[in-house]
């Protein structure tokens, strides 16, 4: 296999695995008819982020980015719908309001982007990535305040470090700051999560 193809393949494979965790969560919501106090925000952030990257990938002719974000958008929508289905009436109203806000913000962002302008698309996509990877920060704050990682997932924290690291390297190989800057930030955020496991252990 061409060595140049290994990095994008690894990035796509690990990202698909990460997006697959949304499906696992969705099936748990359906099976238990409960959201177990979890948040729907990460799913909405993932959907908005993937939508922006899809348009960016089409504008820059980048198949790996297109493929992985099509899958990510589909997974996030399925997970958000499953979360909504398992929520109480009051929680459903909150989910619906946040979904409406996310859709409006996404439509406005895409409307004001010049047709297939990579620079403008890149700005919105990079902003979306930072928002998506920052969405679980509430869990980090809880872990720090309680000195416990009970409500954090070690596999997810590990994946949230490795996946953006691979995309950072891929972006560097393409000399594409739109790709490597937000993913470098995400790598740091994921590293903070792993550091909490090192400090507090799995408790």
* 7-26 pLDDT, tens digit each: 888 989 998 988 888 888 88
SS3 for 176? coil
Dist. CA 10–CA 124, nearest whole Å? 25
* 98 contacts 41 by C-beta, under 8 angstroms: yes
Please report the pLDDT score of residue 1 as a whole number.
54
Token couple for 49: 């982020």
Please report the pLDDT score of residue 172 as a whole number.
92
Angle between helices 154-173 and 3-32 (to 10 degrees): 150
Tell me the residue range of the domain where 188 lies. 3-200
Number of compact structural domains in the chain: 1
Dist. CA 63–CA 61, nearest whole Å? 6
DSSP string, 11-63: HHHHHHHHHHHHHHHHHHHHHHT--TT--SHHHHHHHHHHHHHHHHHHHHT-H
pLDDT at 3 over 60: no
Mean pLDDT of the chain: 82
Interacting residues of 121 by C-beta distance below 8 A, sequence separation 6+: 52, 55, 56, 59, 113
* 167 contacts 179 by C-beta, under 8 angstroms: yes
Mean pLDDT of 49-61: 84
**pLDDT, tens digit, 9 for 90 and up, residues 119-174:** 777 777 877 777 776 666 666 777 788 888 776 777 777 888 888 899 999 999 88
* 136 contacts 148 by C-beta, under 8 angstroms: no
What kind and span of H or E run contains 169? helix 154-173
pTM value? 0.74
Percentage, residues of the chain above pLDDT 70: 88
Please report the pLDDT score of residue 169 as a whole number.
93
Dist. CA 142–CA 79, nearest whole Å? 23
Please report the pLDDT score of residue 47 as a whole number.
85
Mean pLDDT of 172-197: 87
| Other beta carbons within 10 Å of 195 | 13
């Amino acid at each position: 296999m061409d060595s140049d193809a290994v990095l994008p393949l690894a990035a796509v494979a690990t990202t698909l695995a990460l997006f697959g965790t949304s499906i696992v969560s969705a099936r748990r919501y359906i099976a238990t008819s409960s959201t177990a106090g979890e948040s729907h925000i990460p799913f909405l952030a993932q959907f908005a982020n993937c939508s922006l990257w899809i348009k960016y990938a089409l504008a820059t002719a980048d198949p790996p980015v297109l493929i992985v974000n099509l899958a990510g958008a589909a997974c996030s929508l399925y997970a958000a719908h499953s979360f909504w289905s398992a929520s109480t009436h009051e929680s459903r109203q909150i989910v619906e309001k946040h979904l409406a806000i996310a859709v409006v913000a996404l439509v406005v962002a895409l409307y004001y982007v010049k047709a297939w302008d990579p620079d403008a698309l890149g700005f919105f996509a990079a902003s979306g990535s930072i928002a998506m990877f920052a969405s679980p920060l509430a869990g980090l704050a809880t872990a720090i305040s309680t000195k416990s990682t009970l409500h954090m997932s070690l596999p997810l924290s590990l994946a949230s470090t490795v996946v953006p690291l691979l995309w950072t390297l891929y972006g560097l190989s393409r000399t594409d700051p739109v790709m490597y800057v937000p993913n470098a930030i995400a790598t740091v955020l994921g590293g903070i999560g792993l550091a909490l496991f090192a400090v507090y252990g799995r408790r």
